[in-house]
């Protein structure tokens, strides 16, 4: 392990806060009412300095965590993975639900306010709703947003339960509005199911659900650039932000610069029909540049990783399905949190039974019956995890490689990173 990071006052009480968060979750899930306005004001008043473990050497504070909860997917999108698919990790190598909840608790204790569940396709995980319910119990601990990135195929069947569990935002991947082209780009059927999911989200919004909808469209030359205008027009009378993504190189997706359509070229295409398109002021940590057509309800965004990066304000960290921390989407450096997490469990996955034993140990420790040296005790393990996390964050580069170098860089297929 390289470069220990000095803990802040916030870090020194991590064990107690994580233990409390863990013990507050009966069987990982409970119904926790949202904090009142007075509670939020009180939290702001007593806010502690942001964690040193999540602050890199360029003073970027990472308060946004993306967790991949499965490597499986029910589509085979051209830009995401090879046509034949990818070798999947053995089940024992993937994070269990208790492990995901624990890591989420740890990161929230350090200042993470937004968690996004990704995949693969996260809705294919059989226990995704209970998992979201358990993560939702972290709201009183500082979690503000719980979001999902999905292809929408089965979302409409689970959406109501997810919103009840605390879902606040959906990024839905859709690269074409043509059912036939959908089969070409995803190598599967399912267009109608995706549209049902979009319609159900919009319906729930009209009924008062506080849920943001963004439609992500990867633009590839010769495939779907002619649909840029129709996607923009989805927002004419619908509360949707369509975000156009520059095609990016990942393992197995056969990226070439010729297939990529730049942000500027996309702007020119839209302005050829809507010259009044104008920029909208966004949040400093936004990954997209936001625009609007006057009179339209929805917005238009551009994710410009290839031609106009946003590394300087990056606040995102990723945990892969097999438990690796990845501090940059376009970097290939990773560090295992899973192995350290399981260190005192004989390297075995921490299932619900093991999790219950850990909770009992923490209860005994809080009552003074055990020391921090106890086998499976989180106290020491938390500090080791934080040291590893802090060292990885400190090694994060100022910006990712340029376009030409990214093309040559070995990286995982996107599906094995997490969208």
Structure confidence by residue, pLDDT tens digits, 254-273: 658 788 999 999 999 999 99
For residue 25, pLDDT beyond 60: no
Task: Spell out the CATH class of 9-28+50-338+388-417.
Answer: alpha beta
**Mean pLDDT, the chain, integer:** 84
Nearest of 332, 291, 328, 335 to residue 310 by alpha carbon = 328
Structure confidence by residue, pLDDT tens digits, 210-238: 999 999 999 999 999 999 999 999 999 99
Find out whether 175 and 162 touch, Cβ atoms under 8 Å.
no
Instruction: Please give the average per-residue pLDDT across 145-158, as a whole number.
Output: 97
Residue predicted with more confidence, 88 or 392: 392
For residue 45, pLDDT beyond 70: no
Q: Where are the beta strands (DSSP E) in 8-86?
A: 64-68
CA distance 216 to 419: 11
**pLDDT number for residue 204:** 96
**pLDDT number for residue 286:** 79
**pLDDT number for residue 33:** 56
Find out whether 169 and 241 touch, Cβ atoms under 8 Å.
no
Q: How confident is the model at residue 30 (pLDDT cuts 50, 70, 90)?
A: very low
Ranges of each domain in the chain = 9-28+50-338+388-417
- Whether the CA torsion 298, 189, 122, 118 is positive or negative: it is negative
Structure confidence by residue, pLDDT tens digits, 77-127: 777 777 777 788 999 999 999 999 999 999 999 999 999 999 999 999 999
DSSP SS3 for 135: helix
Instruction: Please give the average per-residue pLDDT across 131-158, as a whole number.
Output: 96
Helix (H) or strand (E) holding 358: helix 352-366
Tally: H helices and E strands in the chain: 15, 12
**pLDDT number for residue 44:** 60
CA distance 111 to 40: 15
Structure confidence by residue, pLDDT tens digits, 330-380: 777 899 999 998 987 889 999 988 888 877 776 776 676 655 543 344 567
Q: How confident is the model at residue 39 (pLDDT cuts 50, 70, 90)?
A: low
For residue 157, pLDDT beyond 80: yes
Length of the chain: 419
Residue predicted with more confidence, 21 or 279: 279
Find out whether 46 and 384 touch, Cβ atoms under 8 Å.
no
**pLDDT number for residue 9:** 39
């Amino acid at each position: 392990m390289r470069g220990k990071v000095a803990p802040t006052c916030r870090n020194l009480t991590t064990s107690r806060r994580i233990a409390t968060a863990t013990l507050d979750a009966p069987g990982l899930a409970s119904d926790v009412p949202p904090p009142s306005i007075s509670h939020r004001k009180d939290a702001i008043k007593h806010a502690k300095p942001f964690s040193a473990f999540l602050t890199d050497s360029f003073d970027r504070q990472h308060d946004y965590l993306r967790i991949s909860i499965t490597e499986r997917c029910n589509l085979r999108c051209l830009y995401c993975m090879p046509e034949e698919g990818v070798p999947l990790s053995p089940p024992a190598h993937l994070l269990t639900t208790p492990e995901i909840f624990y890591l989420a608790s740890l990161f929230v204790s350090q200042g993470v306010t937004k968690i996004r569940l990704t995949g693969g396709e996260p809705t294919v995980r059989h226990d995704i709703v209970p998992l979201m319910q358990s993560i939702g119990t972290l709201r009183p601990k500082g979690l503000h947003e719980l979001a999902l990135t999905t292809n929408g195929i089965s979302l409409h069947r689970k959406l109501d339960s997810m919103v009840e569990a605390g879902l606040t935002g959906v990024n839905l991947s859709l690269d074409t509005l043509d059912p036939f082209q959908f089969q070409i780009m995803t190598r599967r059927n399912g267009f109608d199911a995706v549209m049902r999911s979009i319609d159900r989200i919009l319906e729930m919004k009209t009924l008062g659900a506080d849920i943001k909808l963004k439609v992500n469209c990867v633009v590839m030359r010769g495939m779907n650039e002619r649909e840029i205008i129709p996607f923009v027009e989805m927002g004419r009378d619908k509360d949707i932000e369509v975000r156009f993504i520059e095609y990016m190189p990942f393992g197995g997706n056969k990226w070439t610069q010729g297939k990529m359509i730049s942000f500027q070229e996309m702007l020119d295409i839209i302005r050829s029909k809507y010259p009044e398109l104008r920029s909208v002021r966004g949040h400093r940590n936004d990954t997209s540049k936001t625009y609007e057509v006057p009179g339209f309800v929805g917005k238009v965004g551009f994710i410009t990783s290839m031609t106009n990066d946003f590394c300087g304000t990056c606040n995102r960290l990723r945990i892969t399905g097999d438990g690796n921390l990845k501090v940059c989407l376009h970097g290939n450096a990773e560090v295992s949190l899973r192995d350290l997490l399981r260190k005192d469990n004989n390297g075995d996955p921490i299932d619900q039974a093991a999790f219950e034993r850990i909770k009992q140990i923490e209860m005994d420790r809080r009552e003074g019956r055990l020391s921090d040296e106890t086998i499976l005790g989180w106290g020491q393990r938390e500090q080791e995890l934080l040291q590893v996390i802090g060292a990885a964050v400190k090694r994060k580069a100022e910006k990712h490689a340029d376009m030409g170098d990214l093309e040559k860089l070995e990286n995982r297929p996107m599906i094995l990173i997490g969208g």
